[in-house]
Copies of this chain bind each other. A is one copy, B any other.
Amino acid sequence: MGTLATEHLLNIEDLDVAGINAVLDTARSFKEVNERAIKKLPTLRGRTIINLFLEPSTRTRTSFEIAAKRLSADAINMSPSASSTVKGESLVDTAKTLDAMDCDLLVIRHRYAGAPYIMSQNMRAHIINAGDGKHQHPTQALLDLFTIRERFGGFSGLKVGIVGDIAHSRVFGSLAPALRLLGADVTAIAPATLLPACPELLGANHCHKLDEILGELDVVYLLRIQKERIEQSPFPSLREYARLYGIDRGRLERMKRDAILMHPGPVNRGVELTSEAADTAANLLLYQVNAGVAIRMALMYLLLGGDRDGSLA
C-alpha cells in the first residue's frame, strides 16, 4: 500500500488517479475493520488530530471523530462559538497556535473558501478540508467515488448527472472534476438561476431539463437544496423545484434499470426526493455514510501513518 503524493487534501485535485485509487483501496480494508465487533487499530496511537469545525455539522464532525478514534489517535474537537471568535484571533493565528501544540493533522470546516489552504501555509500538520464555503468538499467526493466504484466496478464511460444548486455547491466542486479525471461523463442539471454565469467553464456538460437526460444516466446525484437560498433566489419556489428536479415515482420508473440515486444527505424529503423515492434510495445513501468513515480513516492513515508503520493490522 503506497503513500500519497500529497501532504494535504485541500482540493480533490491534490489527488491524481493513483492517489484516488490508493484512498479507495485503503478505505475498503477499513470498511472491513468497521464491520468487526472490535473496531480499533493501533495505527495512529499518539498522534493528535484536531477537528476544527467553524460551521455547524454534527454529521461530518462525528464521522471524522469516529475515524480518528478507531485508529487510536487522540481526537480533539474545537467548535469555537461566536462568543470566542469575538476574541478576534485570526485564522493564521489559530493555525500557528494549533501547530505549536504539535497537532499532527487538522480537519477543518469553514464557511470561507480557501480556509484550509491558509491553514496548510501556516502549519506543519497535514490538513484535510472538511468543506470550505462553496468551494470544495473532497472527502464527500471520495466517499461518493467509493460508492460508485463498488457499484459499477469503475468509472470509465459512466454517465453521471448532478442535479441541483450547481453554482453554490462544494459537493459539485469536488465530485465533478474527480469523476471527469476518472473517465466518467458528467452533466450538471439545473435551472439557469442555479448554474454559474458561465456554465461552459464548469468543466462538465450542462442542461436545464432533467427529464431530457434522465433515461441515459447511470448515476443521478441529487445535491441538497439549501431551502433558505432557494427562497431568496429568483427561482420560484421549493415546490416548483421539486416538480422540475425532484425524484418521484414517475422519474424513478424512467431511470435506467441499473441506475443509482445518490445524495450527500440529509435529504429534504419532498424536495430532492419524494418520501417514497427517498425510501427506495435509502440503502445506497446509508452506504455512502458508511463509506464516509472508512474514507476518512484511509486519508488519516495515508497522510499520517502510511509511510511509517508499513501495513494495516
Binding site for B on A (CB under 8 A): 34-40, 45-48, 50, 56-59, 62-63, 65-66, 69-70, 74, 76, 78, 80-81, 83-84, 87-90, 93, 96-102, 227, 265-269, 282, 286-287, 289-290, 292-293, 308
Contact = CB atoms under 8 A, between A and B. Distances in A.
A87 B100 CA distance: 35
Given A40-B45, A40-B46, A97-B265, 6 more contacts: A36-B46, A40-B74, A56-B81, A88-B227, A88-B266, A102-B290
A282 B93 CA distance: 10
A50 B87 CA distance: 24
B80 A290 contact: no
A101 B266 contact: no
15 contacts: A36-B46, A38-B46, A39-B47, A56-B80, A56-B83, A65-B76, A66-B76, A88-B266, A89-B266, A93-B265, A97-B265, A99-B286, A100-B286, A100-B290, A102-B290
Contact of A290 (B46, B74, B101, B266): B101
Given A46-B38, A96-B286, A289-B101, A66 B74 contact: yes
Nearest to A226: B87
A29 to B, nearest CB: 15
Contacts of A292: 101
Nearest to A98: B62
B293 A101 contact: yes
A74 B113 CA distance: 32
A101 B48 contact: no
Contacts of A47: 37-39
Contacts of A74: 39-40, 66, 69-70
A311 B212 CA distance: 63
A58 B82 CA distance: 12
A62 B78 contact: yes
Contacts of A269: 90
Contacts of A50: 62
Contact of A282 (B34, B96, B287, B308): B96
Nearest to A266: B89
Contacts of A287: 100
A34 to B, nearest CB: 5
Contact of A101 (B63, B88, B101): B63
A37 to B, nearest CB: 7
A293 B102 contact: yes
A35 to B, nearest CB: 7
B99 A84 contact: no
A32 to B, nearest CB: 11
Contacts of A102: 34-35, 39, 66, 290, 293
B45 A266 contact: no
Contacts of A96: 282, 286
A234 B101 CA distance: 38
A287 B80 CA distance: 23
